[in-house]
């Protein structure tokens, strides 16, 4: 196994800047989850009752969708590095389709919550639910725009085997969306 060198540490996949952004985002979401846990400890009955309004199956399906999307994004990067540009393009389109599917399911879930009157001001649980999942929703939406631009540029030949840094950066951001959801799903949907 090759030792970690100066270049590997300071030049991670996607570049050091995206990893700094990822770290800030993870700290932000961790703080939000910590505040949620603290508020839950102050009103466990309210949080348990409110959690019953969430559909665990929907949350699980969205988890599987994002993980599958992340897999296809990783494959898109791998194939691009191998010079298989069209294979990379197709994998990125699949990743993007799963991203849009996540947004559609989450949007439908949001519409149902609003129809039931479970908005941001309903109670403390739903304030955190909307803030945490809404912020994540925006990340997936932004990530989908990034993937769309990257896919378009792969198709046009801008990105290829010798020029894939931006695609790695986009992939790192996309995987951030996976990681955040993997933190949010159990905290909001599963923990009693």
Show the DSSP H helices in 43-123 as ranges.
44-51, 56-81, 85-115
- Total residue length of the chain: 192
| Distance from the Cα of residue 97 to its chain's centroid | 14
Q: In tens digits, what is the pLDDT along the chain, a chain of 192 residues? A: 444 444 565 566 666 677 788 788 889 999 999 999 999 999 999 999 999 999 999 999 999 999 999 999 999 999 999 999 999 999 999 999 999 999 999 999 999 999 999 999 999 999 999 999 999 999 999 999 999 999 999 999 988 888 788 899 899 889 999 999 999 999 999 987
Sign of CA dihedral 178, 180, 181, 183: positive
- Using CA atoms, how far apart are residues 155 and 175, in angstroms rounded to an integer? 22
Sign of CA dihedral 163, 166, 171, 172: positive
Question: What distance, in Å, lies between the first and last C-alpha atoms of the chain?
Answer: 43
- Using CA atoms, how far apart are residues 22 and 6, in angstroms rounded to an integer? 21
Three-state DSSP at 179 gives: helix
DSSP state, residue 157: T
Contact between residue 180 and residue 132 where contact means Cβ atoms under 8 Å apart: no
Domains of the chain with CATH codes: 14-190 (1.20.120.80)
């Amino acid at each position: 196994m090759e030792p970690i060198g100066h270049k590997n540490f300071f030049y991670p996949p996607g570049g050091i800047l995206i990893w700094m952004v990822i770290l800030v985002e993870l700290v932000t979401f961790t703080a939000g989850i910590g505040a949620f846990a603290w508020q839950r400890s102050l009103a466990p009955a309210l949080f348990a009752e409110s959690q019953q309004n969430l559909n665990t199956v929907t949350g699980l399906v969205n988890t599987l969708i994002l993980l599958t999307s992340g897999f296809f994004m990783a494959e898109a990067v791998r194939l691009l590095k191998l010079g298989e540009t069209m294979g990379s393009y197709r994998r990125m389109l699949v990743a993007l389709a799963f991203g849009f599917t996540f947004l559609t399911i989450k949007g439908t879930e949001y519409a149902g919550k609003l129809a039931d009157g479970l908005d941001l001001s309903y109670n403390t649980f739903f304030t955190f639910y909307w803030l945490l999942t809404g912020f994540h929703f925006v990340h997936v939406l932004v990530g989908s725009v990034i993937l769309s631009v990257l896919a378009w540029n792969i198709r046009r030949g801008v990105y290829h085997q010798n020029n894939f840094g931006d695609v790695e950066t986009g992939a790192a951001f996309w995987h951030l969306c996976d990681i955040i959801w993997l933190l949010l799903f159990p905290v909001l949907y599963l923990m009693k």
